Amino acid sequence: MPYDPSAFPPFAVTVDLVVLTVRRHALCALAVRRGESPFQGRWALPGGFVRADEDLSQAAARELAEETGLRAHDPDAPAQEGGAHLEQLATYGDPKRDPRMRVVSVAHLALAPDLPAPRAGGDASNARWAPVEELLAQGGYGRDGEPVAPLAFDHAQILSDGVERARSKIEYSSLATAFCPPEFTVGELRRVYEAVWGVALDPRNFHRKVTGTPGFLVPTGGTTTRQGGRPAQLFRAGGATLLNPPMLRPEV
């Protein structure tokens, strides 16, 4: 049977990005304000159409660079300097998810260190880092008491899935280092875990665990007091990507 273009319906394919970072002890996601209908004026995840000659991961990396200036790493490589971890998250294709047409969105998850203010096409008022708790508080109220409109399209679901992926993945991988600057202390890494999981961890047990896991952390020799208190050793991410045994998330 020869190829028949009428045998399949045409779809638009987009990539949407869940870009997570840790700011001020809170897990935050990048949100952009929609300038056009539908959902005009509402907050949404950054994203865009996949181009005709582009792979999905290329499209995601391009969108990430356009929105944040970050370069993406290979998903299987350990976190390194000056870039973000980027991996495919899941694909969303409900026929009604976009009222204009049939759109299938391949969502990606990016993890980045704390960044300067975002730029969305150069217009800062149309992009921001917002605590995920706030973005997911459907119909609730933000930190400033203003009512918060839910995210556009099915982006609340996508963000929720991305956050859950990040929460579970830092358990058994060294991915939490993707939230840290190139050199970081054990305490800074612990605050990442605490922010992502929303729990408090025992500093002593955490220190024993991460320094005792071979290949997780490599001391650089330097120290810093940027967190106050006694000077802390600086580390880089080691070559290990999988933590065995995993970091245990406290119950409840």
Partner DNA sequence: GTGTTTATCGTCAGGCAGACGACTATGATC
Partner DNA sequence: GATCATAGTCGTCTGCCTGACGATAAACAC
Residue 100 binds to DNA (criterion: CB under 7 A): no
Binding mask 217-236 for DNA (x = CB under 7 A): --------x-xxxxxxx---
Q: Find which of DNA, a second copy, none residue 126 binds, CB within 5 to 8 Å per kind.
A: none
In terms of CB distance, is 120 or 247 closer to DNA? 247
- The one among 40, 138, 168, 211 contacting DNA by CB under 7 A: 211
In terms of CB distance, is 117 or 252 closer to a second copy? 252
By C-alpha distance, which of 157, 244, 83 is closest to 75? Answer: 83
In terms of CB distance, is 97 or 207 closer to DNA? 207
Residue 203 binds to DNA (criterion: CB under 7 A): yes
Can you name the residues that pair with 232 across neighbouring β-strands? 224
Q: Find which of a second copy, DNA, none residue 203 binds, CB within 5 to 8 Å per kind.
A: DNA
CA distances from 172 to 31, 84, 142 (A): 28, 19, 32
CA dist 210 and 189 (Å) reads 9
CA distances from 168 to 6, 140, 184, 244, 248 (A): 43, 26, 22, 14, 10
CA dist 177 and 183 (Å) reads 9
Taking a C-beta distance cutoff of 8 angstroms, is the pair 165, 172 a contact? no
Taking a C-beta distance cutoff of 8 angstroms, is the pair 16, 31 a contact? no
In terms of CB distance, is 146 or 251 closer to a second copy? 251
- The one among 56, 115, 156, 240 contacting a second copy by CB under 8 A: 56
Residue 62 binds to a second copy (criterion: CB under 8 A): no
Only segment of 19-27, 99-107, 182-190, 219-227 that touches a second copy (CB under 8 A): 99-107
Taking a C-beta distance cutoff of 8 angstroms, is the pair 162, 58 a contact? no
CA dist 195 and 27 (Å) reads 6
Please give the residue ranges that form the binding site for DNA (CB under 7 A).
Answer: 185-188, 190, 202-205, 207-209, 211-212, 225, 227-233, 245, 248, 250
